[in-house]
């Protein structure tokens, strides 16, 4: 239980730290990228706006649609910037010799559709920062751009620096996560240590108290039985009181036994046998054992057996499981009701279901029926002698056998408890 809680805490710590590291890394990378490309992008933006200003200043010379200057006059041959100029038909008007591949098609299409495009590209064995700018008609005449101009500046150093930063961030993030997981494991252990100690003290107290209570309860019952043997000498009122004492002693004895069982379960002190068990035989035998109780309450109990029902498990615990389910069915089924125990095998599982026609359980109580000491109706449960521990023990037995338990019920409509256990593998031949 505490091991699972510890790993959950570690997972929570690691998830929170991972979110922080990813956000921090993204922020650092974005700021570093923006700083590296700042000068380059500023130069490209200056060239793009300068070319637009040049067209505006010489509007009369380029007043014909698709007629644009072949060479941007603001670029010098000594400048470390390449360019390519196209007209509205996507025909290349001019480009310089440094950028041999001419235009960048993706950016060109966006520019000819009227949008400015800025991105990093890889062509000709180098990284380039590419700005694609639409060329609109002078004085705003016309709708579609007359053409486009693309400016390119090499950014190999910047890209390599970003790649190195990316590797550092990834390596640092992974190392940080591993260290955080180890630290979280340590801190979770420190955090849970007091809780574990308190839980262990509580478990020992329950186990010790349950063990110590067994002897006085046995003595009380023995004494009551001795007095009861001379019932004829007792007054009627005293005899009735003596019977009540024996009933309460039996109830307390069952409670002590259940508490001791759960304390041993919590301390992992119960070992299970792993033998082939025929659940059909177990169900049939228990139904016969409880027949006196069934007859006393004027109920009808039957067993329906279908197919092979062999499982690997502890026969005593499986008997206890079925006895708990049938005991609950008897307690909460009114006289004249029916109880059916069905055992069948299907799809690699053996299922056992106990269906009764009893008072049922409210829907809001169903999620809690396997909680310790939970009682849907305290008065009714006390009257029946229950303490709210039976289904908790049943759930543990099912889990210890790698099975599933499900309960469905409605007030006045009876209750169905279904247990599914893995079927034993049968070797052929």
pLDDT at 429: 44
Same-domain check for residues 21 and 148:
yes
Model confidence over 223-271: pLDDT tens digits?
A: 777 777 766 666 777 677 777 777 777 777 777 777 777 777 666 667 7
What's this model's pTM, rounded to 2 decimal places? 0.52
Residue 312 to residue 424: CA distance in whole angstroms: 6
Are 153 and 44 in contact by the 8 Å Cβ rule? The answer is yes
Same-domain check for residues 6 and 144:
yes
- Displacement of CA 123 from its chain's centroid (Å): 46
For the segment 68-85, the average pLDDT, to the nearest whole number, is: 61
Mention every residue, 6+ apart, whose C-beta is less than 8 A from residue 94. 70, 71, 84, 85
Q: How far is CA 51 from CA 47, 58, 116, 276, in A?
A: 6, 11, 13, 89
Mention every residue, 6+ apart, whose C-beta is less than 8 A from residue 363. 410
Residue 230 lies in a domain: yes
Using the predicted structure, report yes or no on whether residue 396 has a pLDDT greater than 80: yes
Local structure of 149: helix, strand or coil: strand
What is the total count of domains within the chain? 3
Percent share of the chain, pLDDT over 70 = 76
Query: Which of residues 246, 266, 286 is at a domain's end?
Result: 266
Identify which has the larger pLDDT, 67 or 293: 293
Binning pLDDT at 50, 70 and 90, where does residue 326 land?
A: very high
- Can you give the CATH number for the domain in which 86 is found? 3.30.450.20
Same-domain check for residues 35 and 64:
yes
Residue 12 lies in a domain: yes
For the segment 283-305, the average pLDDT, to the nearest whole number, is: 89
- Give the other-Cβ count within 10 Å of 237's Cβ: 8
Same-domain check for residues 344 and 281:
yes
Mention every residue, 6+ apart, whose C-beta is less than 8 A from residue 365. 374, 376
- Can you give the CATH number for the domain in which 315 is found? 3.30.565.10
Return the exposure string of 143-171: e unless at least 16 CB atoms fall within 10 Å of the residue's CB, then b. Answer: eebbbbbbbbbbbeebbeebeebeeebee
Residue 159 lies in a domain: no
Same-domain check for residues 112 and 212:
no
Same-domain check for residues 72 and 117:
yes
Of 147-151, 282-286, 324-328, where does mean pLDDT reach its minimum? 147-151
Same-domain check for residues 12 and 135:
yes
pLDDT at 110: 85
Same-domain check for residues 6 and 149:
yes
Using the predicted structure, report yes or no on whether residue 213 has a pLDDT greater than 60: yes
Using the predicted structure, report yes or no on whether residue 198 has a pLDDT greater than 50: yes
* Pairs from 120-127 (Cβ < 8 Å, separation ≥ 24): 120/37, 120/155, 120/159, 124/99, 124/100, 126/154, 126/156, 127/154, 127/155, 127/156, 127/158, 127/159
Same-domain check for residues 213 and 230:
yes
> CA angle, corner 246, sides to 240 and 249, nearest 5?
145
Using the predicted structure, report yes or no on whether residue 166 has a pLDDT greater than 80: yes
Q: What is the chain's mean pLDDT, rounded?
A: 78
Domain that holds residue 364: 275-422
Strands 310-313 and 300-306 turn out to be unpaired
- Give the other-Cβ count within 10 Å of 212's Cβ: 11
Local structure of 152: helix, strand or coil: strand
Model confidence over 167-177: pLDDT tens digits?
A: 999 998 888 88
Residue 80 lies in a domain: yes
Using the predicted structure, report yes or no on whether residue 162 has a pLDDT greater than 60: yes
Highest mean pLDDT among 146-160, 182-196, 225-239: 146-160
Residue 59 lies in a domain: yes
Using the predicted structure, report yes or no on whether residue 186 has a pLDDT greater than 60: yes
- Stretch (H or E) spanning 42: helix 2-57
Model confidence over 87-129: pLDDT tens digits?
A: 777 777 776 655 555 667 778 788 888 888 898 888 778 888 8
pLDDT at 233: 67
Same-domain check for residues 305 and 415:
yes
Same-domain check for residues 228 and 179:
yes
Binning pLDDT at 50, 70 and 90, where does residue 356 land?
A: very high
Using the predicted structure, report yes or no on whether residue 424 has a pLDDT greater than 70: yes
CA within 13 Å, CB half, 399: 8
Same-domain check for residues 123 and 98:
yes
């Amino acid at each position: 239980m505490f091991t699972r809680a510890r790993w959950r805490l570690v997972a929570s710590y690691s998830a929170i730290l991972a979110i922080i590291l990813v956000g921090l890394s993204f922020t650092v990378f974005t700021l570093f990228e923006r700083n590296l490309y700042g000068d380059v992008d500023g130069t490209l933006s200056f060239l793009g706006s300068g070319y637009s200003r040049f067209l505006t200043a010489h509007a009369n010379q380029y007043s014909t649609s698709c007629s644009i200057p072949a060479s941007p006059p603001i670029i010098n041959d000594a400048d470390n910037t390449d360019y390519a100029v196209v007209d509205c038909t996507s025909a290349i008007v001019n480009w310089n010799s440094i950028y041999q591949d001419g235009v960048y098609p993706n950016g060109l299409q966006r520019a000819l559709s009227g949008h400015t495009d800025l991105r990093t590209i890889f062509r000709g064995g180098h990284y380039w920062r590419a700005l694609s700018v639409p060329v609109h008609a002078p004085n705003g005449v016309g709708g579609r751009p007359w053409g486009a101009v693309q400016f390119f500046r090499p950014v190999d150093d910047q890209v390599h620096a970003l790649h190195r930063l990316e590797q550092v961030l990834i390596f640092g993030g992974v190392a940080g996560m591993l260290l955080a997981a180890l630290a979280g494991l340590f801190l979770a252990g420190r955090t849970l240590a007091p809780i574990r100690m308190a839980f262990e003290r509580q478990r020992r107290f329950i186990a010790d108290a349950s063990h110590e209570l067994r002897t006085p309860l046995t003595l009380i019952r023995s004494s009551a039985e001795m007095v009861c043997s001379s019932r004829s000498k007792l007054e009627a009122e005293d005899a009735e009181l003596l019977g009540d004492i024996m009933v309460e002693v039996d109830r307390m004895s069952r409670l002590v036994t259940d508490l001791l069982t759960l304390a041993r379960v919590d301390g992992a002190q119960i070992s299970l046998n792993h033998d082939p068990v025929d659940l059909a035989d177990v169900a049939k035998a228990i139904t016969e054992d409880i027949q006196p109780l069934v007859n006393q309450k004027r109920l009808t109990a039957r067993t329906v057996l279908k197919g092979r029902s062999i499982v690997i498990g502890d026969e005593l615990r499986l008997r206890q499981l079925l006895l708990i389910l049938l005991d609950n069915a008897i307690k909460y089924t009114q006289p004249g009701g029916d109880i059916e125990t069905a055992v069948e095998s299907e799809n690699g599982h053996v299922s056992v279901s106990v269906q009764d026609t009893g008072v049922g359980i409210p829907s809001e109580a169903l999620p809690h029926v396997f909680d310790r000491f939970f009682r849907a109706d305290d008065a009714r449960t006390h009257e029946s002698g229950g303490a709210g521990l039976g289904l908790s023990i049943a759930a543990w037995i099912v889990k210890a056998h790698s099975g599933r338990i499900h309960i469905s019920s409605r007030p006045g409509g009876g209750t169905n408890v279904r247990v599914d256990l893995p079927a034993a593998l049968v070797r052929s031949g």
